Structure formats: structure tokens, C-alpha cells
A and B are shown apart, each in its own frame.
Chain A
């Protein structure tokens, strides 16, 4: 992603954002509330339409694709608030996103139920009757079933208990072994530090810093300042 700018109506939200995610890598986007992290994900996905710059995925420009084609290019989206549908059962929620062609890595329903036994048990309940943690699992599981090669995760730990956050962290490590690329937006720095390979820091719609996990220890101080912890 190069020089991405995005607008909500007349007001500009992103200013020349550059970002790289290499295959199989987990990248975390850090920053305070309202600096443009979610907007970056939503612009990348094509949900925010008013944007300019370059977005390439597998050497193919996806900026001009209609929203429903972006998923078929191989990108899955797990929104903030999880986006579980109340009028659909757990299994219908799971089956909703179409499997994307030509990836070959799509998990079958059986594999998903083996990985998430809770979902199997409650597959006929309405999606929103699950606990917050289970809903987050469902939101991630339904993307795994599509066989995309990259997942955009928006604040998966928000509002969840520490023990559930640990489980989601474990799950993301499992995803890594499947070779999936993950772009994670996260406020919970300690959670992100455990799973990410690379970090980007945003402030006021701009990218202000970028470093690998190996450089993390030397940066604690400047990070704390940027994140206002």
C-alpha cells in the first residue's frame, strides 16, 4: 500500500499511508483512538470508497475493484464489533462468506468445528446469542472457511476478558502456521507484542513509525509516548 489517502465526505482521514505486509507475516497497526487505523483497514478493503494512492495485493491493483470482488482477490475482513448477524444461526454466519476461488487453503466446516468445538455445540443458536469471545471466534472462523490468504482483523480483543484474549492469541498463532498473512489493528499493545512480526504506528492519519519485532525492546519509551499509555 503506497501513498493511501482517504476521505469521509469532505474531510480527509488518511494522508499518504504506506504499509507492507509480506506473505505469512503478522503486522500490527498501533495508535491511539481515532488516528485512522480502522480507516486504513476499511480503505484497504474498499469499504471506504473515496480514496487515492496504490493498493496492490499479490502484484495486482485492487483499488478499483468493486467491494465484492476484493474478497475474491483473497482478502478477508473481520470488522470491529465482529459483525455477527443476529438473524442468522451460528452455522449460517459461518457459511455466509463465499469460498474464494483458487486459494486451496480453505478450511472445511469439519476442520473449523474441530478447532472451535464451542461453535459446533451452538451451531443452531442465533449468532448474537454467543458470548463476546465466541462471537470473535466465529468472526475469525468464518473468514478461515473462505480460504483467503490475508486477514484484516480490527481490534479482536476489544471488550474481552483476559483469559479469552489469551485464547484468541493462541488462535492467531495457529493461523500463522497455516501461512496466512494478518493485518491487525490493536490497542492492546501487550497482546500485539506476543504475535506480531512487524509494527506500524499511526498518528493523525499518518504513518509515524515502523519497526520489526526484534527492535521492540529499544522502543518501549517512544512507543508509550506515541500511544499515550
Chain B
């Protein structure tokens, strides 16, 4: 058996892969947070709840409408995005003129509300959600063993992350978003419907969390608390990467996932806190984050 640093290669690559999969979720979620924060200056504490909502929507679509995984993967994020748009239009919008703290408090309250609602109606225990039949196998090679579904999660997350990056950096609507992130009043004075842009951005960020939720459903159980478990780590990722940087959020997500996976191999006791240790270190050296701009 091949060994590296006294660790069997298969164990190493296995943990690396788990790290990469966790990193996929971190990247998708922190990307949405970064997009929302960049334009709306709202720290979206409800992001974990929208992730949970994505998973639950997928589960409900299957349970009540008999929709399969692929249908849910398309439809659930759209529904989560619509819920996000509704929240922005009817509630969040009213807080833009106030201190940013109100946006944070509101979304925190919203997260508790959503979590509470789902606990009330579906209980605290997780609901099983299975991967599509064609992805149930395991891919085995000499140096790595991958459940096919988990490989798919990594690929899907990479595609969505870089698709989002291209949308923001290479398209017309992306140029509105970048400009409005710098000076939304001026962009609106030029005749761009910025209030609509804010709604779409919030909806899009929430839909990204919804995608992550559907992707996560077959790996973790679908449970009301899955979002609040995740959101703390995501905030650490965002702090390390720096608020408002798109590529920074993506890169930091994958990087910290991998670091966490490797820590499990070499010093398992620290695996649960390594991200927070890195966060503390980054805050001391570069308070704006690795890729962040000063605001």
C-alpha cells in the first residue's frame, strides 16, 4: 500500500475528497453571501435557512409531487429564489436606509422563524433523501474511492460557482451589478432600475443556497437544523476570504474544505476547529480577509 507521510494514500485522498465535497458547499454558500453583501450590504444570516429550504423543497417536491432528483435540482432553487425575492420586496427593502445592523437582525430572525416552522411541521429528525439511481455506484481506482454522487456534487458546484463568476464578470447585467456595488445611486441616476437589481441579486443569492441545499440533501439528512449547523462555518469562510470578493469566496470555500479534510487525517482532534483557528489568524493579520477590499 502506498504511504505518504505515514498515512495510506487511499485514506489521504479519501479525506481530501471529503474536504473537497464540504468545500463545494462552503464555496456555493459563501459565494451567495458575498454577492448579496457586495450589493445590498446585508449580512444575510438567513442564508443557512435558505439552504435548508432548498433541501426541504426538494424533499417535498419528491414526497408530494413525485418529482425526481433532477426535477428538484432545477425547480427547488427557483422556488427558493422566489421566496427570497418575496422577502426582499416585502420586508428587507424597508431596512436599506437604516443601519446595516437591522438587516443582520432581520435575517437572523427570519432564519429562526424558518427553522422553527419546519421543526413544528416536520419534526427535528432528518428526512431521508436518496441520490438518483444512476448515481448510486462507487468509482474505485488504485488511489481513490469516490461515491459517484459525491463526485457529481464537486463537479456541479464548480460549474455553478464559475458560471456565477462569469455572469458577474463577463455580462451586461454583471456590469450593472459591479457598478452598483461601487455606487448604486449613480447607477440608478443613469437610468438602471436598481431596486429591481437588488431584488434579483437577493433572489439569486438565495437560489445559490437552494442549489447547495438540494445537492446536500442526499449526503446529509434533510433536517430543519441543517442550515444553522452550516451557517457558522460559512461565516468563518466569508471572514477568511473577505466580504464582497466573488473569486475570493469561491477559492476560500474550497481551500478551507480541503484544509479541514486534511486536518482529519493528520490531527483529527482539531478538525472541527481548524477553520475557526484560521479565521482568528487571518483576522489578526489581514482583518479585511485574504481577498477582501477595505470598506
Binding site for B on A (CB under 8 A): 45-47, 66-72, 76-77, 79, 83, 85-88, 92-93, 95-98, 100, 146
- The CA of A190 and the CA of B175, in the complex, are separated in Å by 38
CB distance from A82 to the nearest CB of B (A): 10
CB distance from A69 to the nearest CB of B (A): 8
Among B190, B191, B195, the one with the most A-chain Cβ atoms within 10 Å of its Cβ is: B191
Binding site for A on B (CB under 8 A): 172, 175-176, 178-179, 181-183, 185-195
Cβ contact of A98, chosen from B179, B181, B182, B190, cutoff 8 A: B190
Structural contact, A68 and B172, CB atoms closer than 8 A: no
- The CA of A66 and the CA of B194, in the complex, are separated in Å by 10
CB distance from B18 to the nearest CB of A (A): 35
Cβ contact of A96, chosen from B175, B181, B194, cutoff 8 A: B175
- The CA of A67 and the CA of B190, in the complex, are separated in Å by 9
For the residues of B in contact with A, the DSSP-based class is: helix
CB distance from A33 to the nearest CB of B (A): 22
Structural contact, B189 and A45, CB atoms closer than 8 A: yes
Residues of B within 8 A of A66 (CB): 195
Structural contact, B191 and A100, CB atoms closer than 8 A: yes
CB distance from B168 to the nearest CB of A (A): 10
Residues of A within 8 A of B178 (CB): 85, 87-88
Structural contact, B192 and A85, CB atoms closer than 8 A: no
Question: 14 A–B contact pairs at CB < 8 A?
Answer: A45-B189, A47-B189, A66-B195, A67-B185, A67-B189, A69-B191, A70-B189, A70-B191, A83-B186, A87-B178, A88-B175, A88-B178, A95-B175, A146-B190
Q: Which residue of A lies closest to B197 (CB)?
A: A68
Cβ contact of A77, chosen from B176, B189, B192, cutoff 8 A: B189
Structural contact, B191 and A97, CB atoms closer than 8 A: yes
Structural contact, B183 and A71, CB atoms closer than 8 A: no
With A87-B178, A88-B175 in contact, do A96 and B190 touch (Cβ < 8 Å)?
yes
Q: Which residue of A lies closest to B174 (CB)?
A: A92
CB distance from B93 to the nearest CB of A (A): 13
* Contacts A67-B189, A68-B189, A146-B190 known; 9 new A-B pairs at CB < 8 A: A68-B192, A70-B189, A71-B191, A77-B186, A87-B181, A93-B179, A95-B175, A97-B192, A100-B191
Q: List 6 A-B pairs, minimum CB-CB distance, nearest first.
A: A71-B191, A97-B190, A87-B178, A85-B179, A67-B188, A92-B175
